[in-house]
């Protein structure tokens, strides 16, 4: 569709155009890309099978780029020498921008907003579901503009009950900048013959001592009563 602005006209046809909108829209019926070439296939809408596969990969923890790479690998294994014919078709292999838009749509629909009041409401509902259905023990806390989540999974609780090392030595592995909000992860581990075994975790948006102290108190309440760490005083931290 092309637009042509009319500055002056001597047309005798009344109401040829409105004075407030002196424009004529001319429909050419043409495309902005070639239609007599195989390259036109890349503009096709994403097919149902490829969309479902990408959504499955998103739920497994893949990003848009890694999910697209896995999809291409699956199609390469399936089609072999004819893969390049399939890869040129947008119905089977979308562009990265299409994959990113699908990722954002699915992520927002399942996990809600990544910021603002809606995020806290979604987070509290998810933690409640973890506590009720998955056997986790979690707590969520807020101090002014800062917040934190403490986690003790069933596997972590089992380590508390069976490993005496949890009352002897606990180490903290700290990592930051894990996502767009730059959250910090504090993973509590105890050394064993098999390596470090996780016994708890704290996720927070702040490095302040006040926030970490409050989160640590809540994490201790998440530990099971049979824990060696709760029953005995910790030797080294």
Q: Which of 161, 164, 156 is nearest to 235 (CA)?
A: 164
Burial of 40 (0-12, 13-18, 19+ CB in 10 A): middle
pLDDT(134) > 70: yes
pLDDT(138) > 50: yes
Could you read off the pLDDT of 73-102 as tens digits, one per residue? 999 999 988 888 888 898 999 999 999 889
**Residue carrying the six token digits 């637009």:** 3
CA 162, 163, 166, 171 dihedral sign is: negative
Question: Is there a contact between 226 and 160 (Cβ–Cβ < 8 Å)?
Answer: yes
Would you call 140 helix, strand, or coil by DSSP?
strand
Question: Is there a contact between 192 and 165 (Cβ–Cβ < 8 Å)?
Answer: yes
Q: Which of 179, 172, 127 is nearest to 153 (CA)?
A: 127
pLDDT(169) > 70: yes
Q: What is the pLDDT of residue 187?
A: 92
Domains of the chain by residue range: 39-111, 117-231
Would you call 160 helix, strand, or coil by DSSP?
helix
Integer Cα distance of 53 and 110 in angstroms = 16
pTM of the model: 0.58
pLDDT(132) > 90: no
């Amino acid at each position: 569709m092309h637009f042509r602005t009319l500055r002056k006209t001597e047309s005798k046809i009344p109401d040829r155009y409105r004075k407030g909108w002196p424009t004529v829209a001319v429909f050419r019926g043409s495309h902005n890309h070639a239609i007599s070439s195989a390259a036109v296939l890349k503009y096709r809408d994403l097919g149902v099978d490829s969309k479902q596969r990408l959504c499955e990969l998103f739920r497994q923890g893949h990003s848009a780029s890694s999910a697209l790479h896995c999809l291409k690998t699956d199609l390469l294994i399936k089609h072999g020498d004819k893969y390049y014919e399939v890869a040129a078709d947008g119905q089977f292999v979308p562009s990265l921008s299409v994959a990113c838009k699908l990722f954002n749509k699915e992520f927002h629909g399942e996990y809600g907003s990544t910021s603002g009041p809606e995020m806290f409401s979604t987070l509290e509902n998810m933690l409640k579901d973890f506590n009720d259905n998955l056997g986790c023990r979690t707590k969520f806390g807020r101090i002014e503009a800062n917040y934190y989540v403490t986690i003790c999974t069933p596997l972590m609780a089992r380590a508390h009950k069976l490993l005496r090392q949890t009352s002897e030595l606990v180490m903290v592995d700290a990592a930051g900048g894990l996502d767009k909000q730059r959250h910090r992860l504090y993973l509590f581990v105890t050394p064993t013959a098999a390596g470090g075994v996780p016994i708890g975790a704290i996720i927070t948006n702040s490095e302040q001592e006040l926030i970490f102290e409050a989160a640590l108190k809540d994490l201790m309440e998440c530990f099971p009563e049979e824990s060696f760490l709760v029953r005995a005083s910790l030797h080294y931290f």
